[in-house]
Structure 1
Amino acid sequence: MGGLLREAFNVDIPRSLFESHNMHEEETSYDMHEGGSSYDMHKDFDFRCDVDNVNPSTYSSEEDLKYKRLMEASYEGLYEGCTTFSKLSFLLHLFHLKSMFHWSAESFTKLLELLVDAFPQINEFPSSYYEGMKIIKDLRLGYEKIDACQNYCMLYWGKFAEKSECHVCHTSRWKTVKGKEGHTSERGKESCKKGESAKVLRYFPLIPRLKRFYMSSKTTKDMSWHFGRKDNKVLRHPADGEAWKFFDEIYQEFVADPRSVRLGLASDGFNPYLLMNTNYSIWPVVLIPYNLPPWNCMKPTSFILSLIVPGKYSPDIDIDVYLQPLIHELKLLWNGVDTFDAYSGENFKMRAALHSPINDFPAYAMLSGWSTRGYKACPSCAHSTDSYNFGGKICYPGHRKWLPLDHTYRSQAHLFDRTVEYDVAPVPISGKDILKKQERIKYVYGK
């Protein structure tokens, strides 16, 4: 079931939600909150830079310089005697407002110039948008632009990074512009203007974002909250579930270090324009670190935006094409990457695995590859699904087989489809059986 996600689940072979303050000026960020004041949303975020004074020798020279700059900005008060804001936290507040209210880079620069002139007591504060961006970039909140085929066939990434047309549908990589000189298309009246990509995937690298959790001794300790839980009577966290415990039994080396990360994956399409009459949909993919306690892991500040699949239509099962960079990093994380632990003061191999997805039934079909429509729509019954066509609609009457053999509903044919149910529930197919079936499938990305 599925192409790329099955690789992430088959591990043997392998803080803000929208960080739009790091986007270039020509791109647009959208205020997703339709009701209420934007200032209410602003209060939900804590912009304090919570990093510890760790041994700089554990970092590379480049990381060392970035870390020192962040430390200086986070501990330096905005002005002498200021206890409310540090230089870094105040700058983050300004960039957050820029994102919410769509300020241009020029207007942001003018605001900074006014603040520096009006309050000379502010300690060496940046006076332009680009000077502020130099400080913000050290937080590693950037993202990568990866060109994609217009028809969801491929990414111009990896060995295809230099290609100028799709190797599946042979569509040009570049935007089609009418009346411009360039490579003329088959229609003759349009040309492909090189330099303007037709479709762009925005990918937010996962590894540096996971490393940030271990830069603070507080969040590092929280990342081990799930370890050693012995309360088997109450289901309050994924660590109490059977899937988590089953994984622990199989991959004991992974479990031996409580800092190993378990991730949830959520994805769904939405209209970024807040207009019901606009037919446009983009698909963000968000990761949730399940290591954190339940009162933290589902907060927006803990969510990790992984990628934004561009619109305007749903990628459907071809979402696998866009998940390739994420799966590549998940494979690296399964083997482990060097990370510094601020709580223990030592380096360790940080490993991560995808625990489970969060989605509705249509998105389930996209992410898994199992069609949730038609005669075999049930992922639990699979090929044992009972279904038939009635009045142009597909009906699924076999739900009574899951009841106990002596249940009265089994014999009450007049209440259902005029039949008595004698069948027993099918045995759910195991993961090993699914993998055996997948070995006979040659998966090709794209159409």
Structure 2
Amino acid sequence: MDKSWMDIKDRTSVGYRNGVAQFLNFASQHAQRDGTIVCPCRKCVHSTMLAIDDVQIHLVSHGICRGYRRWTFHEESSSRKTSVRTPSTSVQENSNENSNMREMLHHMFPMHDMVPEPMGEDMASDPMVGDPSVEQPTQGPNEESLQFLKLLKDVEEPCYEGCTKFSKLSVIVYLYHLKCLLGWSNKSVTFLLQFLQELLPSSAKLPKDYYEAKKIIKDLGLSYEKIDACPNDCMLFWKENSNLEACSNCNHSRWASNEVGVPTNTNAPSKKVKKKAAKILRWFPLKPRLKRLFMSPEVAPHMKWHVDGRTNDGLMRHPVDSEAWKSFDSKYVEFSSEPRNVRLGLAADGFNPFSNMSTAHSTWPVMLVPYNLPPWMCMKRAYFMLSLLILGPTSPGNDIDVYLQPLIQELKELWDVGVETFDVSSNSSFQMHAALLWTINDFPAYADLSGWSTKGALACPSCNYDPQSRWLKHGRKFSYIGHRRFLDRDHEFHNHDKEFDGRTDFSRALVVVLGSEIIAQTEPVVDVVFGKKKDNLTNKRKRGEHALCIWKKRSIFFSLPYWENHMLRHNLDVMHIEKNVVDNVIGTVLNMDGKKKDNLKARLDLEEMGIRSELYLEELGSDKTYKPPACFEMTASEKDSFLQVLKGVSVPDGYASNVSRCAKLKERKISGMKSHDSHILMQQLFPIAIRGSLPDEVSKHLIELSCFFREICSKVLSLEDLESLQKRIAVMLCELEKIFPPSFFTVMVHLLIHLTDEAKIAGPVHYRWMYPVER
């Protein structure tokens, strides 16, 4: 059957419409009794039963699912009907409670029949099948997969005969969910189950107690393991250290002090008290979660999208189009030869679970993102996999490597050995391997995961040991100026001195540092001792040694065999960089107290550097100083005009929060902006509001800054555009150096120069920023 029409991009063309008609003619032969078929459009993705005419409208409007070459949901090459759950009238009339329950179950495990298709004609006619010289894939699910598939049949099994709202498994999951939310004891759940058995008809199929219910939940294979940890983050009581009673580094007890001891009443009979660990790491094993992706008929076909479904036209829409992905494939051909091998990204960030700004507690989840999936699925919450949960009064900081040990060991096993996995889309088992591509984190977490100190004179990890900063004597901080080194060699700015920092600059930017160089640089800290309470002599640097080695450790990721050869290991987060740049710009142009970068100390630093004499402070008397206005500071009327534009902004629901509430007309300032508010302000509103509020020589460069963020955040990138953008951002930063004082150029402003380089290596930024992670 001709399926070339599925590749036609113009869905209004005659060829595409004829192909849709051909498909519907074929699918209608196997329609349900009510005349409906499974809709294979990109919006429904085989999850909805529709009439033939409605399916035709969907296919023309949304297009057919990419990679759906074998129409298994419509009986192609199949000897029996594909079991698809048909939405009945009773299901459609379910209560809101039942809908919420199904949504919760959908995120826990697939809610569809996972019985695999038998080997069809396509595979039977393959000349390679049956050839003894070729290693054949194992047909059918293995024992573990059969157990899981059998369990999922309980999803469709009613709780009792005649029940249309709840299945046996949904009731168990719902009760287990309530137990966790409300703090029910195990005994209370047992009593409730016994009461329900008496209340419901005799045909009710519920476990008799909490123990049996927990075994059913555990069979899903998505549980977690508790690993005791030292309260000072020195070590895990794991593997060979699992039987220790105290930390081998700081000698701190493994157990919480209030749980250990003898009863105060010595005359009372002794009672053994169960010890409670002082700190616990929760580890969610990765292997079963990856295997579940291939056991879902909705997800499994998409796990090969990066090979079968993407458009290869030289543009970058997905990490698979990036140089980093292609370089990895060329170095590890055996891994890339199996398209079902999984590429992962690791995201880590800390938050306060109590919804306030208190620092009394910190929770650090470590999540993994499977990049095999297509763009419309890749960064969705349903496919994020929680790997580690680090709880404690403080963040792990540089000691996070201690908690990453279980995950790193599992990643090593997935790379070296792999794990046998059943692929429901091909009805075969294969040895799945996985590799970690990079990490996603904000700038402080960048230091924790990479080991590079993101503070001080050498805060920029991309510049490495190339000195980029300059110490401000009066401001008492580092300024990251000197972007002329990123310009073309023949650019006129190299010869200018008074307009910049008082000297000419013909230096060149440092090339990208290779993994082998980082290994050599981290040799002095390879034996670093982790923990919050270290020996005074341990890890103590000698005077002047900080300049020789700014590394705090050699990251645990370098224990992965392939980590050294990655082109990009840790991503700079565009979300937080944009937020910090917006705060710098808004605070300075509005002259906001505590936020502005142009203060008395900044003017004294200008005088110290001998540049921009028109901005020097003037003594008006014994105790009075006059600060001349700068070209980038708005007057009172200009502030009113700027803020009035923002105050009148109204955006559609879901596009952004109420940005107008952040504009304070009376105080002439902006406050209360979240990260996404700054994103909308910089890329959409700022170019409009700034016109007429500042001189043209200032506003045009700030508008150029807005355009830079809008282009770097595009969903589709090209190398030619990025090359041009790289030159533009270098010139723009130099132009801003001529306008704003050196104190304006924090390390976050400087990091703009490296965003285009990372985009050229790793592709679009929305696969590598913190927005989906923090949400």
Which residue is 2:142 aligned to?
59
Aligned-pair distance for 1:71? 3.8
Aligned equivalent of 1:215, options 295, 315, 325: 295
Match of 1:49, as an amino acid?
M
Which residue is 1:206 aligned to?
286
Residues 156 and 163, structure 1, Cα contact 8 Å, conserved in 2: yes
Q: What's the secondary structure of 2:295's corresponding residue?
A: coil
Residues 148 and 155, structure 1, Cα contact 8 Å, conserved in 2: yes
Q: Which deviates more from structure 2 when the two are superposed, residues 199-208 or residues 234-243?
A: 234-243
Which residue is 1:383 aligned to?
465
Q: In the superposition, relative to structure 1, how do residues 98 and 174 fare at CA in structure 2: closer, same or farther (>3 Å)? A: closer
Q: What's the secondary structure of 1:343's corresponding residue?
A: coil
Q: In the superposition, relative to structure 1, how do residues 226 and 86 fare at CA in structure 2: closer, same or farther (>3 Å)? A: farther
Q: What's the secondary structure of 1:394's corresponding residue?
A: strand
Residues 343 and 371, structure 2, Cα contact 8 Å, conserved in 1: yes
Aligned-partner Cα distance in 1 for 2:162–2:318: 43
Q: In the superposition, relative to structure 1, how do residues 249 and 82 fare at CA in structure 2: closer, same or farther (>3 Å)? A: farther
Aligned-pair distance for 1:130? 3.1
Residues 369 and 385, structure 2, Cα contact 8 Å, conserved in 1: yes
Aligned-partner Cα distance in 1 for 2:471–2:363: 34
Residues 98 and 165, structure 2, Cα contact 8 Å, conserved in 1: no
Which residue is 2:739 aligned to?
none
Matched, 1:345 2:427: yes
Matched, 1:155 2:236: yes
Aligned equivalent of 1:359, options 441, 466, 472: 441
Match of 2:387, as an amino acid?
S
Aligned-pair distance for 1:196? 2.1
Which residue is 2:486 aligned to?
402
Match of 2:287, as an amino acid?
I
Matched, 1:49 2:111: yes
Aligned-partner Cα distance in 2 for 1:113–1:410: 82
Aligned-pair distance for 1:299? 1.8
Aligned-pair distance for 1:274? 1.9
Match of 2:502, as an amino acid?
R
Which residue is 1:418 aligned to?
502
Q: Choose between structure 1 and 2 for higher RCO, CA contacts under 8 A separated by at least 6 residues.
A: 1
Which residue is 1:434 aligned to?
518
Residues 321 and 445, structure 1, Cα contact 8 Å, conserved in 2: no
Deviations, residues 201-236 of structure 1 (Å, cap 9, x unaligned): 111111111111122233221111112534344432
Aligned-pair distance for 1:309? 1.3
Aligned-pair distance for 1:398? 2.4
Which residue is 1:322 aligned to?
403
Aligned-partner Cα distance in 1 for 2:346–2:214: 30
Aligned equivalent of 2:373, options 292, 310, 316: 292
Q: Percent identity?
A: 47
Gaps of 5+ in 1: 1-37, 183-192
Aligned-pair distance for 1:195? 2.4
Which residue is 1:373 aligned to?
455
Matched, 1:227 2:310: no
Which residue is 1:244 aligned to?
325
Which residue is 2:168 aligned to?
87
Deviations, residues 63-110 of structure 1 (Å, cap 9, x unaligned): 367436504413423344556543223433443444445555455445
Match of 2:455, as an amino acid?
R
Match of 1:433, as an amino acid?
E
Aligned-partner Cα distance in 1 for 2:431–2:451: 32
Aligned-pair distance for 1:260? 0.4
Aligned-pair distance for 1:443? 2.9
Match of 2:489, as an amino acid?
L
Which residue is 1:8 aligned to?
none
Deviations, residues 329-365 of structure 1 (Å, cap 9, x unaligned): 0000002222222222222111001011110010000
Residues 222 and 292, structure 1, Cα contact 8 Å, conserved in 2: yes
Aligned-partner Cα distance in 2 for 1:221–1:294: 14
Q: TM-score, normalised by structure 2?
A: 0.47
Q: In the superposition, relative to structure 1, how do residues 345 and 237 fare at CA in structure 2: closer, same or farther (>3 Å)? A: same
CA RMSD of aligned residues (A): 3.1
Larger helix proportion of the pair: 2
Q: In the superposition, relative to structure 1, how do residues 79 and 236 fare at CA in structure 2: closer, same or farther (>3 Å)? A: farther
Aligned-partner Cα distance in 2 for 1:233–1:103: 56
Q: What's the secondary structure of 1:313's corresponding residue?
A: coil
Deviations, residues 168-223 of structure 1 (Å, cap 9, x unaligned): 122221222399449xxxxxxxxxx9822111111111111111112223322111
Q: In the superposition, relative to structure 1, how do residues 420 and 376 fare at CA in structure 2: closer, same or farther (>3 Å)? A: same
Aligned-partner Cα distance in 2 for 1:235–1:42: 38
Which residue is 2:599 aligned to?
none
Deviations, residues 368-406 of structure 1 (Å, cap 9, x unaligned): 111111111111110013223213212222223112234
Q: Which deviates more from structure 2 when the two are superposed, residues 352-361 or residues 414-423?
A: 414-423
Which residue is 1:6 aligned to?
none
Deviations, residues 223-276 of structure 1 (Å, cap 9, x unaligned): 111125343444322212221111111111101001101111111111112233
Aligned-partner Cα distance in 2 for 1:83–1:178: 48
Which residue is 1:7 aligned to?
none
Aligned-partner Cα distance in 2 for 1:385–1:244: 31
Match of 1:424, as an amino acid?
R
Residues 49 and 88, structure 1, Cα contact 8 Å, conserved in 2: no
Q: Which deviates more from structure 2 when the two are superposed, residues 343-352 or residues 228-237?
A: 228-237
Aligned-partner Cα distance in 2 for 1:222–1:121: 43
Larger strand proportion of the pair: 1
Matched, 1:334 2:415: yes
Q: In the superposition, relative to structure 1, how do residues 406 and 41 fare at CA in structure 2: closer, same or farther (>3 Å)? A: farther
Which residue is 1:142 aligned to?
223
Aligned-partner Cα distance in 1 for 2:303–2:233: 36
Match of 1:86, as an amino acid?
S
Aligned-partner Cα distance in 1 for 2:491–2:513: 25
Aligned-partner Cα distance in 1 for 2:476–2:430: 59
Match of 1:227, as an amino acid?
V
Which entry has the higher C-alpha Rg, 1 or 2?
Answer: 2
Residues 305 and 374, structure 2, Cα contact 8 Å, conserved in 1: yes
Residues 343 and 372, structure 2, Cα contact 8 Å, conserved in 1: yes
Q: In the superposition, relative to structure 1, how do residues 362 and 171 fare at CA in structure 2: closer, same or farther (>3 Å)? A: same
Aligned-partner Cα distance in 2 for 1:57–1:246: 34
Q: Which deviates more from structure 2 when the two are superposed, residues 113-122 or residues 331-340?
A: 113-122
